[in-house]
Amino acid sequence: MNQDFEFYNPTQVFFGRSAMENLPGLLSLYGPNVLLAYGGGSIRANGVYDQVIQALADSGKQVTEFTGIMPNPTYAKVLEGGRLARACQADLILAVGGGSVIDCAKAVAIAAVEDGDLWKRHWLEKRPPDADPLPVGAVLTMVGTGSEMDGDSVVTNEETKFKTSTWDYSLYPRFAILNPEFTYSVPEYQMVSGIFDILSHIMEIYFSPEDEDNLSDDFSEALMKSVIRNTAAALENPRDYTARGNLMWASSLALSGLLAPSKRQDWEVHQIQHQIGAYYDCAHGMGLAAISPAYYRLVCPYGLAKFKRFAINVWGIDPAGKSDEEVAYAGINALAAFIQNSRMTTNLRQLGLPDDSLLETIAATCNLRQGGYHPLTRTEVLQVLRESF
């Protein structure tokens, strides 16, 4: 661990079958008015809604519902939530759902207390909130983004066609309820999308300097191996509590800050995916899966030693009789095979892009990051997109 770092994660996590029993006690820490934020209705179908409503009733809360938060939440939806939070004088926003619901709740937490052009100030200029955002609590129902234990809020501006995040310590959920059973009802497509999102978060940190002996890379390899192992088990039996639990905790840890110390971090795959998502409303993790093999093949020569280590330590590739390049590319091939075998999206056509007409626009508008082994030019972004099509 050669680089200086700061570590702080303020989210209080309750994990397991009985995690919901803590909700009334947690609610009692906040004022009487709760804005209950959720998505398109999955929580009503799987019974989580009833459990949450019961806890709110037991705690004597006044509840205002903010519903219909869509996957890849829009800035317009954030502003709608902000108006509702003000009208009901919310003391707490309780987000029940996946990353989209939690991200939207965090953004509403800002919109409830600030006026003016929030998009410009916080999402484009990345400035911290001007006033303390409302507190957010999370009941997680879909695994992948890590939003339940991080300070990011990813929002899409539909008018300007730009999807990006803002981050602040004040946006970390105050508490997160993690019951793996709540994820049993997630459709397989969404489950494997979330799983690739976890892997991608880990890889975007792992495939970057520094490469000195550091605990972060060791943690990353352990998490990746756990995710890979438990994916097979969850595909085999979606109600495998152990597998769903391991995936859930891996997801939360991946972006909790645990893996970041001493790492510069890449995040270019996420930048490209966010711009694909700005133009084509698609499952975030599936977009990452569609472009990752092409991206890592392009970057591999610039971080060869790390890709070799990935192949051996994560995928169990036997290096005997192989050159470093052969070992490294065998690791990326193993990743591509995992994507295919886990019924994830293997290219952009499968993701739902009808043609390649917007690839140049996506390449021209995505953020270019400097953190990876090889910062991409726009021509190289386009190359990745074309190879992934």
User: What is the contact surface with ligand NZQ in residues (CB under 6 A)?
Assistant: 39-42, 46, 71-72, 97-101, 103, 141-142, 144-147, 150, 152, 154, 182-183, 185-186, 190, 194, 197, 255, 270, 284-285
Binding mask 263-302 for Zn ion (x = CB under 5 A): ----------------------------------------
In the complex, least distance from residue 226 CB atom to ligand NZQ, rounded to whole angstroms = 19
Alpha-carbon dihedral 112, 118, 121, 127, rounded to 10 degrees:
30
Q: Which residue's CB is nearer to ligand NZQ, number 255 or number 363? A: 255
Q: Does 152 bind Zn ion (CB under 5 A)?
A: no
Q: Does 148 bind Zn ion (CB under 5 A)?
A: no
Neighbours of 5 (CB within 10 A): 11
Q: Which residue's CB is nearer to ligand NZQ, number 98 or number 245? A: 98
Taking CB under 5 A as the binding criterion, the range among 169-177, 190-198, 223-231, 289-297 that sits at the site for Zn ion is 190-198
Of Zn ion, ligand NZQ, none, which one sits near residue 134, judging by CB under 5 to 8 A according to partner kind? none
Q: Does 197 bind Zn ion (CB under 5 A)?
A: yes
Rounded CA separation 319/338 (Å): 19
In the complex, least distance from residue 324 CB atom to ligand NZQ, rounded to whole angstroms = 31
Of ligand NZQ, Zn ion, none, which one sits near residue 238, judging by CB under 5 to 8 A according to partner kind? none
Task: Give how many residues touch Zn ion by CB under 5 A.
Answer: 1
Token digits for 339? Answer: 């994507």
In the complex, least distance from residue 254 CB atom to ligand NZQ, rounded to whole angstroms = 9
Beta bridge partners of 74: 156
Q: Which residue's CB is nearer to ligand NZQ, number 63 or number 312? A: 63
In the complex, least distance from residue 18 CB atom to ligand NZQ, rounded to whole angstroms = 18
Q: Which residue's CB is nearer to Zn ion, number 143 or number 314? A: 143
Of Zn ion, ligand NZQ, none, which one sits near residue 293, judging by CB under 5 to 8 A according to partner kind? none
Q: Under the phi-then-psi rule, with left for phi > 0, alpha for psi from -120 to 50, and beta for the rest, what region is 72?
A: left
Q: Which residue's CB is nearer to ligand NZQ, number 275 or number 330? A: 275
Of Zn ion, ligand NZQ, none, which one sits near residue 194, judging by CB under 5 to 8 A according to partner kind? ligand NZQ
CB 269 within 8 A of CB 200: yes
Q: Under the phi-then-psi rule, with left for phi > 0, alpha for psi from -120 to 50, and beta for the rest, what region is 343?
A: left
In the complex, least distance from residue 200 CB atom to Zn ion, rounded to whole angstroms = 6
Q: Which residue's CB is nearer to ligand NZQ, number 244 or number 309? A: 244
**How far is residue 184 from each of residues 54, 71, 104, measured CA to CA in Å?**
21, 19, 23
In the complex, least distance from residue 151 CB atom to ligand NZQ, rounded to whole angstroms = 8
Q: Which residue's CB is nearer to ligand NZQ, number 118 or number 330? A: 118
CB 223 within 8 A of CB 202: yes
Of Zn ion, ligand NZQ, none, which one sits near residue 77, judging by CB under 5 to 8 A according to partner kind? none
The residue sitting closest to ligand NZQ, measured at its beta carbon, is: 39
Taking CB under 5 A as the binding criterion, the range among 71-79, 196-204, 208-216, 328-336 that sits at the site for Zn ion is 196-204
Q: Which residue's CB is nearer to Zn ion, number 59 or number 72? A: 72
Q: Which residue's CB is nearer to ligand NZQ, number 37 or number 328? A: 37
Q: Which amino acid is at 296?
A: Y
In the complex, least distance from residue 238 CB atom to ligand NZQ, rounded to whole angstroms = 11
Q: Which residue's CB is nearer to ligand NZQ, number 179 or number 317? A: 179
Contact residues: Zn ion, CB under 5 A: 197
